[in-house]
Structure 1
């Protein structure tokens, strides 16, 4: 605070020898500090606004796009020509086309997202995207799906909370496919303790060449081997008939960063064919909510 700010007049505040320049320097320092403080406050507000936009505004925008994608998918299922064999066909899907729905009961009874074809940024702003070239629901190999963890709908925000044997249910036009999260790395040696859980039927550590596949892992973002037909061993897929039917979810890790990738692997355990006579049927696995 300067002498004028204290209420003293210049005559009442004599300045001793050499004090004038010091007072001037002090004022300049205060001005610089004040300016720097204002700059930091402004920068902080800008960052805060960006975070609000990235986390909340993009969520609202993506939620609207996801609703539109779900509505379009349901219309396609209703309007599509009847198929006597009632078998799903996924040929010719264009980037961004919805073709299935995904439910994760452990993350809530309202967890449901339409899965779209492709993993471009535009597609992932709408919802989870299928890695082109990987298997489709229920097919041998690896049905791999990517999703945002923060903002843009954040469909995979909480997949780190999934435990072994938790169900991932995928709905297509004619079927329900049930996958369950595989044993985590620290569970493999003591799986017998959990195998008695009814939800774990069909789930167990896999043998070679799948012995490196676990329920959850964190990898380098350039490690594309996690979505190979045999994760981590892209050259060991063998014939389709020999492949295990898997589902893999990928997202950024940690939150607010793309430094790594969080991976969840699940194995196919149950198929429910839709019955036109009972359109209200829903798999019992959908009731396994937390």
Structure 2
């Protein structure tokens, strides 16, 4: 489950493995080959801005310091965004954002560049009805707690 307090106290969207159409129709998808939630490296996820519940429709309103809470069966991870929701827009072909330590080849917006970090990368379409570009937000893990029923 993904919770983003800025989007309201009732915001809770399922998180599934993979980024197929079927997965993204349900909620957030975890990019295969990126770190697991809470692990060292880059835990990268995607979700729709429009259709299928519009989980990231308000991504442009995200600000540095906002929390993203990822709840798994065993652990609840809290990430703090280091970039805003619309600080970085890249063509969908820019896969560097999924790297273990995403490093912007243009030298622009990127996560803090410290090896061994536990990062989150959130991706969604930047235009509401066009899919050539992606909005990207980066964050760092700040807390890990056991998930309570």
- What range describes the TM-score normalised by the shorter chain of this pair? 0.7 to 0.9
Gaps of at least 5 residues in structure 1 are 1-100, 185-213, 235-241, 281-290
RMSD: 1.9
After superposition, the Cα gap between the structure-2 partners of 1:132 and 1:231, relative to the gap in structure 1 and judged at 3 Å, is same
Report what 1:227 is aligned to.
98
Q: Distance in 1 between matches of 2:87 and 2:38?
A: 21
Deviations 1:23-60 (A, max 9, x none): xxxxxxxxxxxxxxxxxxxxxxxxxxxxxxxxxxxxxx
Q: Distance in 1 between matches of 2:52 and 2:73?
A: 26
TM-score (norm 1): 0.46
Matched, 1:156 2:59: no
CA contact (8 A) 1:144 1:227 kept: yes
- What is the 5 A alignment of 1:1-290? 101-183=1-83, 216-232=87-103, 242-274=115-147, 279=148
Gaps of at least 5 residues in structure 2 are 106-114
User: Which has the higher relative contact order, 1 or 2, with Cα contacts under 8 A spaced 6 or more apart?
Assistant: 2
Deviations 1:143-190 (A, max 9, x none): 000111111121111111100100000111121110011045xxxxxx
- Once the two structures are TM-superposed, the CA of residue 126 in structure 1 deviates from its matched residue by 1.2
TM-score (norm 2): 0.87
Give the number of the structure whose alpha-carbon radius of gyration is greater: 1
SS of alignment partner, residue 125 of structure 2: strand
- Once the two structures are TM-superposed, the CA of residue 266 in structure 1 deviates from its matched residue by 0.9
Name the one with the larger strand percent: 2
**Number of residues of Structure 1 aligned to a counterpart in Structure 2:** 140
